[in-house]
Amino acid sequence: MKHLPFNPPITLNDDEILKESASFYQWMEARRSLRFFSSRPIERQVIENLIMTASTAPSGANKQPWTFCAVSSPIIKKRIREAAEEEEYRSYNGRMSQEWLEDLAPFGTDWQKPFLEIAPWVIVIFRRGYELEKNGHKHPNYYVNESVGLACGVLLTAIHQLGLVALTHTPSPMDFLTKILKRPVNEKPFLLIPVGFPAEEATVPNIIRKSKEEVLIWFE
Ligand code: IYR
């Protein structure tokens, strides 16, 4: 592959880098997962911009092993909600361990997922384990979970940057999404992310993020 000169998109001095890193940290510190959405619409072009931003993420051998389904259709959102709630009902009533339920109790989650209908958009991310060639050969993708996870991280950052909110939701199992969204056999659901404005009465659990002493080890 031909290599091209790299033109840095921005050049800051040391002082500016220090200031920017602190203010971006402060901004990201304010990001929260939200379960309470307003039904206020968001323009399709905004969602397209967010998804194309996510699709700039690095990926194994640049295979970009992801597909984003952007759903605003009330009929499809309802189908997704009903199928998710059916699975979640079973999870909360027998499939999840006591230990898991106890870990979740402070968050106040349950099997009901009204946000899947209320949020103006539900983005469903699929991982492409391999590419299916015309002759039937399954050409592998690499580091698929890492790549798709990175793309979702970029997506959440881009959503937060607009003052919009999201929830990383993982109804389990998620196979119903493959059927509802008619995805091919080489795609498996990875995450479901409702996106919208926060509801006026939205609340968030009082979580504490780990301190630098807990997450950061220096080797200088
Ligand atoms: N998928 C369920 C349960 C759930 C699991 C974890 I780990 C969470 O951090 C939150 C919820 C649900 O969405 O309710």
Interval 186-203: pLDDT, tens: 999 999 999 999 999 999
Q: How many A from CA of 92 to the centre of ligand 1?
A: 9
Is 50 in contact with 159 (CB distance < 8 Å)?
Answer: yes
- Taking the model in full, what pTM does it have? 0.97
Considering only CA atoms, give the Rg of the chain. 20
> What share of residues in the chain are helix, strand, coil (percent, to 5)?
45, 15, 40
Ligand 1 lining (C-beta closer than 6 Å): 88, 104, 109, 169-172
Q: How many A from CA of 178 to the centre of ligand 1?
A: 20
Ligand 1 atom, smallest distance to 107 CA: 10
What pLDDT is recorded for position 214?
98
What pLDDT is recorded for position 94?
93
Could you tell which of 109, 176, 207 is best to mutate to test the pocket of ligand 1, judged by most ligand atoms within 8 Å of the CB? 109
Token pair recorded at residue 158 = 């881009």
Q: How many A from CA of 170 to the centre of ligand 1?
A: 6
Which positions ≥6 away from 73 have C-beta within 8 Å? none
Q: Per-residue pLDDT tens for 51-81?
A: 999 999 999 999 999 999 999 999 999 999 9
Beta strands in the chain (DSSP E): 66-71, 121-128, 130-132, 138-140, 165-166, 187-196
Q: How many A from CA of 111 to the centre of ligand 1?
A: 9
Token pair recorded at residue 36 = 């309470």
User: What residues does 139 pair with on adjacent strands?
Assistant: 131
Phi, psi of 56 (to 5 degrees): -85, -5
Residue whose CA is at the smallest distance from ligand 1 atom 2: 171
Ligand 1 atom, smallest distance to 110 CA: 14
Q: How many A from CA of 48 to the centre of ligand 1?
A: 27
What pLDDT is recorded for position 61?
98
Ligand 1 atom, smallest distance to 100 CA: 7
Q: How far apart are the first and last CA of the chain?
A: 36
Spatial distance between the Cα atoms of 82 and 80, rounded to a whole number of angstroms:
6
What pLDDT is recorded for position 78?
98
Spatial distance between the Cα atoms of 111 and 93, rounded to a whole number of angstroms:
9
Residue whose CA is at the smallest distance from ligand 1 atom 12: 171
Residue of 46, 33, 41, 36 lying closest to 74 (CA atoms): 41
Low-confidence ranges of the chain (pLDDT < 50): none
C-alpha distance from residue 213 to each of 191, 210, 217 (Å): 30, 8, 7
Token pair recorded at residue 214 = 């807990």
**Total residue count of the chain as it appears in this document:** 220
